[in-house]
Structure 1
Amino acid sequence: MRKPTIQDVAVKAGVGVGTVSRVLNNHPAVRGVTRDAVLKAISDLEYTPNPHARRIAGGKSYTISVLLPVLTTEFYTRLLDGLEAAFQEARYDVAIFPLLDRSRLERYLGSHTLAYQADGLVMATYNLQALFHEHRLRTQQPTVLVDAYAEHVDCAYMDNVTGGRLAGEHAVKAPGPIHAIWVETELDQLFQTRVFEDRRSGFMGALAAAGRGLGRECVSSFDTLAARNTAAQLLDAVQTEPGGVPCTVFASADLLAGALLDEMAVRGLQPGVDVRVIGFDNQPWAAARGITTLHQPVESMGYEAATLLLTRLNGYRGPARARRFEPSLIVRGSA
């Protein structure tokens, strides 16, 4: 049997080929009834668009480039899930470019690399405000930031200051010393993120408002072994101090909170009693471990960023839009 064509879909739906094409491209200028008829015809005929013909006919790649710091963390896996859900609905492919270090970011700032041959560009997490002001990101295609904020560009971002404040407001409810473990971030201004700086700002503000001070501050790289070593150092200090336990620790990422719980188990310390632990992220495994944490709607943030970019690709020419997402506190046994 020959494969059904776009012409077959048009005939069955009683519309022109152009209308079918607009439905396939998720163009807004199609009435709901007409769109439903075309989608039913596509389903009945089991029609699959030819991506090569689509690209040739439209003069577009139907590909979105996504520049990420890394690929190996749960946060970016969830972020990609949200981005891809929206792009797949609009029949766009996603090309992923992990940057990993400053040199790759510098290379991608050029306008002739493969990443810039897509119809649109998503850049995740980096503090790129200065780059936009300096006009170093000279892209011909629409660009959106996700998990980052900058003026004059579409962005969807998490309000980490509010997340830190909520953690602080919960920490001050309990007596005893309050400590914190922060994630070490890149010192180079071009290749850094404000995420953990903002979490610290919100947390310290909440402590100050309650008239409480912060005890020990530790810093760990975003690595399981490093996090465990940092947890051990903090607990060594806490357990040798008079009145050191019970205490509260804000671990500014769930990976740090998990490492702290592991080290506490070895020492016979009870979560929520001897040491109250507050994490941040609400990773998929956090509930099973009973971690009190800040939930981030990561998938929703990714989906919204993709939607902003798709509206640009569909003709929106208005001012830049910013979509703010707010973490929420989830209280479990660890605090």
Structure 2
Amino acid sequence: MLDCIWKLTRSVSTGCHEEKITIHEVAKHAGVGIGTVSRVINNHPSVRPETRARVLAAMEALGYTPNPHARRIAGGRSYTVSVMLPFIATEFYTRLVEGIERVLSEQRYDLALFPILTKRRLERFLTSHTLAYQTDGLIVASYNLAELFPGGHLPTDRPVVFVDAQSPRHDSVYLDNRLGGRIAAEYLMRFPGGLYAIGVEEELDQAFKNTGFAERIQGFQETLAQHNRPLPPRHVFKTRFSAEGGRLALQHFLRQGSPPFNIFATADLVALGVIEEAQRLKLNIGQDVRVLGFDGQPWTEAKGISTLMQPVEAMGERAATLLLERMEGHKGRPRSVRFEPILIERTSTGYPPDAVYVP
């Protein structure tokens, strides 16, 4: 049966017809049993490295690869992983998916993306009938959907991993956003001038409530309070996730006081808007207006934006690795992997009055 299921894609001409080469011939070439070849094809961890290398060398010498459709039938798997995420066309989620795909593609898994986008679409994922729950595993980004179900479990028996979110009942990979806020406060209060913060509004009708932005503000406020520098409510401006939001924030702060302003923007895109508005008003970036962003988007380097970088691709890779381990049978307790943001200083914050900041 295996020689029928594990047909190899290359064929050999025998004159009047083409004969498919079977797994038996690969096994014979490598000097192993067909079960060993099957385990190598499925990346089973029980195969010794030297044996795996011999089988792979035999397959390469013959120029054959497994038939992926037959492989799925034989293994009882779809070799597809669902990724549920708020949006697709944003830099953060593009980078996150790239990290996830980098790991899963090495094991020949495909991704099926399920953007939530709106509250109405979110309701579709509250039933077990959606295709998102029919693949071999599920990665949920930025929102703990499990809390909407009785017992905190999603309606699937497949492995589930959360990324950019936390769940007490599932493996989770997350960024310590509150720590990022603390780092921002400790860094910016070393400069002369007032302290300000820009939060991002969370629109429930567009996706879901993501606490990341709020946690950044909370960490910022808590640290300032610990240093007897409370943040007045008028020094906090909430806006939409856009550069326009940053422009509106700076206009608001200018009505509250005079430069210099030390501004913590909870997203790089918002920080960009602050800089663009300051330039329009002929204010000196790094002196009259200092702004620290959050995310570490690749384009911030060219714009000279100081930022708290989150290792987005690494978070995606770690989530995919945890999921692969679950799909291979790991039965341990839920694991929690915490990442920390990294401060990157650039011209948007000028230069500190003393030694380089070390968190």
Scaled by the length of structure 2, what TM-score is found?
A: 0.86
Q: Classify 1:297/1:8 alpha carbon distance in 2 versus 1 (closer, same or farther; 3 Å).
A: farther
The answer to whether structure 1 residue 207 and structure 2 residue 207 are counterparts is no
Residue 129 of structure 1 contacts residue 151 of structure 1 at CA under 8 Å; is this kept in 2?
no
The answer to whether structure 1 residue 218 and structure 2 residue 237 are counterparts is yes
Q: Classify 1:220/1:13 alpha carbon distance in 2 versus 1 (closer, same or farther; 3 Å).
A: farther
Corresponding residue number in structure 2 for 1:134: 151
2-side partners of 1:40 and 1:166: how far apart?
Answer: 51
Structure 1 residue runs without a partner (length 5+): none
Q: Classify 1:30/1:187 alpha carbon distance in 2 versus 1 (closer, same or farther; 3 Å).
A: same
1-side partners of 2:149 and 2:189: how far apart?
Answer: 39
Corresponding residue number in structure 1 for 2:249: 234
The answer to whether structure 1 residue 80 and structure 2 residue 80 are counterparts is no
Corresponding residue number in structure 1 for 2:310: 296
Name the aligned partner's letter for residue 236 of structure 1: Q
1-side partners of 2:183 and 2:146: how far apart?
Answer: 26
Corresponding residue number in structure 2 for 1:159: 176
Poorly superposed stretches of 4+, deviation over 4 Å: none
C-alpha root-mean-square deviation of aligned residues, in Å? 2.0
Structure 2 residue runs without a partner (length 5+): 1-9, 13-20, 350-359
2-side partners of 1:67 and 1:8: how far apart?
Answer: 42
Residue 187 (structure 1) shift: 4.5
Residue 5 (structure 1) shift: 4.8
Residue deviations 1:32-63, cap 9 Å, x none?
11122223233333323211101111111111
Scaled by the length of structure 1, what TM-score is found?
A: 0.92
Q: Classify 1:42/1:207 alpha carbon distance in 2 versus 1 (closer, same or farther; 3 Å).
A: farther
Residues 254-273 of structure 1: matches in 2 within 5 Å? 254-273=268-287
2-side partners of 1:35 and 1:181: how far apart?
Answer: 54
Name the aligned partner's letter for residue 153 of structure 1: H
2-side partners of 1:85 and 1:102: how far apart?
Answer: 30
Corresponding residue number in structure 2 for 1:15: 32
Residue 158 of structure 1 contacts residue 325 of structure 1 at CA under 8 Å; is this kept in 2?
yes
2-side partners of 1:45 and 1:175: how far apart?
Answer: 70
Number of residues of Structure 1 aligned to a counterpart in Structure 2:
330
Whose RCO is larger (CA < 8 A, sep 6+)? Answer: 1
The answer to whether structure 1 residue 170 and structure 2 residue 187 are counterparts is yes
Residue 309 (structure 1) shift: 0.8
Residue 239 (structure 1) shift: 3.4
Q: Classify 1:327/1:194 alpha carbon distance in 2 versus 1 (closer, same or farther; 3 Å).
A: same
The answer to whether structure 1 residue 309 and structure 2 residue 323 are counterparts is yes
Residue deviations 1:59-87, cap 9 Å, x none?
11111011010001110011001111111
Pick which of 141-150 and 212-221 moved more: 212-221
% identical aligned pairs:
52
Residue 133 (structure 1) shift: 5.5
Corresponding residue number in structure 2 for 1:29: 46
2-side partners of 1:129 and 1:170: how far apart?
Answer: 36
